[in-house]
Chain A
Amino acid sequence: NAGVTQTPKFQVLKTGQSMTLQCAQDMNHNSMYWYRQDPGMGLRLIYYSASEGTTDKGEVPNGYNVSRLNKREFSLRLESAAPSQTSVYFCASRRGTTGANEKLFFGSGTQLSVL
């Protein structure tokens, strides 16, 4: 049981390049999330998808787009990378769409550097 799988684990981009971070979960979860983690800032929500076919902005969506390709997969795209997007990115999922089951399961992260 792999849980939440993110690829790639590491990536270096030049300013202006584009790339897509991939995330897949095998737990049949309904909701999926993308967070970024910066030193001293904790985890900040970029986008989320409460169910297949829906996506919504989180706290820091600017510069990103997402696609909920199917129930398993939720990708994060940087169309034109900027140094401010240097961060560690985490994908997460949870079973519910509503209710008190708030347990998030995280992937192991993608460390992205934009030069």
Chain B
Amino acid sequence: GQQLNQSPQSMFIQEGEDVSMNCTSSSIFNTWLWYKQDPGEGPVLLIALYKAGELTSNGRLTAQFGITRKDSFLNISASIPSDVGIYFCAGHLNYGGSQGNLIFGKGTKLSVKP
């Protein structure tokens, strides 16, 4: 089936650092979504992107929908301890199409440097 390649798989941050993660695919997506999952909870939507080239911010978070429609990145500026968690990218292949076609990346686990 279709796959999203999300990287890095994990990363360690120190408070105040900027963080960057991305997702790529061999397929063209019409929607890109970024979710965050806290321990013991379900994922929560952070940012949704609907147009190629779109750059959207949500506080310290910025995400972009790649021009080729095959990739997206998420940046977190000036990280704080509560940013730790697992971040998932998700993409929808068919604009207005089957509900089953929302595909998730495998996640980027953000942890605090010891």
Contact = CB atoms under 8 A, between A and B. Distances in A.
Interface stretch (B63-71, B72-80, B95-103): B95-103
Task: Give the size range of A's interface with the partner.
Answer: 20 to 34
A102 B88 contact: no
B42 A108 contact: yes
Interface string A98-115: 111011111111000000
Contact of A102 (B42, B43, B102): B102
Contacts, number: 67
A109 B40 contact: yes
B106 A102 contact: no
Given A43-B88, A48-B99, A100-B31, A106 B44 contact: yes
Contact of A108 (B9, B41, B92): B41
Interface of B: 1, 6, 9, 30-31, 33, 40-45, 48, 50, 88, 90, 92, 95-100, 102, 104-107
Interface of A: 4, 31, 33, 35, 40-45, 48, 50, 56-59, 90, 92, 94, 97-100, 102-109
Given A35-B104, A40-B106, A103-B33, 10 more contacts: A43-B88, A43-B104, A45-B100, A45-B102, A56-B99, A103-B45, A104-B45, A104-B102, A105-B45, A109-B41
